[in-house]
Structure 1
């Protein structure tokens, strides 16, 4: 498919690594951050717009796949001297914040801290998307559904924090 081609070719190894890191990392974080927390989460007051729990794994797998593809495309397009500043730094920061948020919100019940942290995550995703867009418009565009979902998640985080203080 054309979406996987960068400069007319597909680097299968880099593509696989790019997609597997967020997908597998997200699955592991989800498992460990949510382990033994489901009963407690069910007891929380939630806003009417809170999606059913089954939506989250589907949404996150799709979003992690798109962000991995975006990172792959940007990495392949950017000049080698700019890989660190343009691709790896903003991407790593936003992914690290993404993984940390699950522990803050679910495992450690620090929903107020998670709300502050998700604000930083939104900014980091925006930075990453902007940097990606500069080198590959599709890579930048692939980050937009993720940015939208995390924006929604921040509203959900705020609502749950407010309802359960």
Structure 2
């Protein structure tokens, strides 16, 4: 592995870890969350940590793959900007749902999060099919999370 890989790998690993740690600190599985009616098909709490770990790892690898396959600096800046926006939207969803106790607002926000993942797939696909494919589990997970979010809103709303 050449030195050209080192900085993108370290940057992607740091960014993915930062979003994961911040998201974990925002996520409060306390009395409010436990009081919410959940659908029968909702996964056990332990599944979320495993799923997010795999998603953050594959997203970091996709970012490195996309970065290295993109020779133009302007395209690389666009790619970094989209990953940054995605990280912010990821954290915002957790803030809305878990800290502000507004699953209804989180349901609206998850559309932006989903769209940001879809745009990342399109951007990376142009340069690296492997990188784009690595983001598909993230898109599927956000789709599932959005449907779960919608179900929780339907079972528990209105929120104030």
Aligned mate of 1:67, from 44, 59, 63: 59
| RMSD over equivalenced CA pairs, Å | 1.6
State the 1:10 CA deviation. 6.1
Equivalent residue for 1:101? 93
Equivalent residue for 1:43? 35
Q: Is the 8 A contact 1:23 1:61 kept in 2?
A: no
After TM superposition, the runs of 4+ consecutive aligned structure 1 residues lying more than 2 A away are none
For 2:141 and 2:74, locate their aligned partners in 1 and report how far apart those are by CA, in whole Å: 32
Residue 48 of structure 2 corresponds to residue 56 of structure 1: yes
State the 1:105 CA deviation. 0.5
Give 1:1-165 correspondences, 5 Å limit.
11-31=5-25, 33-35=26-28, 37-78=29-70, 79-85=72-78, 87-165=79-157
Unaligned segments of structure 2, at least 5 residues: none
**TM-score where L is the length of structure 1:** 0.88
For 1:38 and 1:13, locate their aligned partners in 2 and report how far apart those are by CA, in whole Å: 38
For 2:82 and 2:31, locate their aligned partners in 1 and report how far apart those are by CA, in whole Å: 35
Q: Is the 8 A contact 2:8 2:67 kept in 1?
A: no
Can you list the C-alpha shifts for 1:123-159, whole angstroms capped at 9, x where unaligned? Answer: 1110011101111111101100000000000000000
Unaligned segments of structure 1, at least 5 residues: none
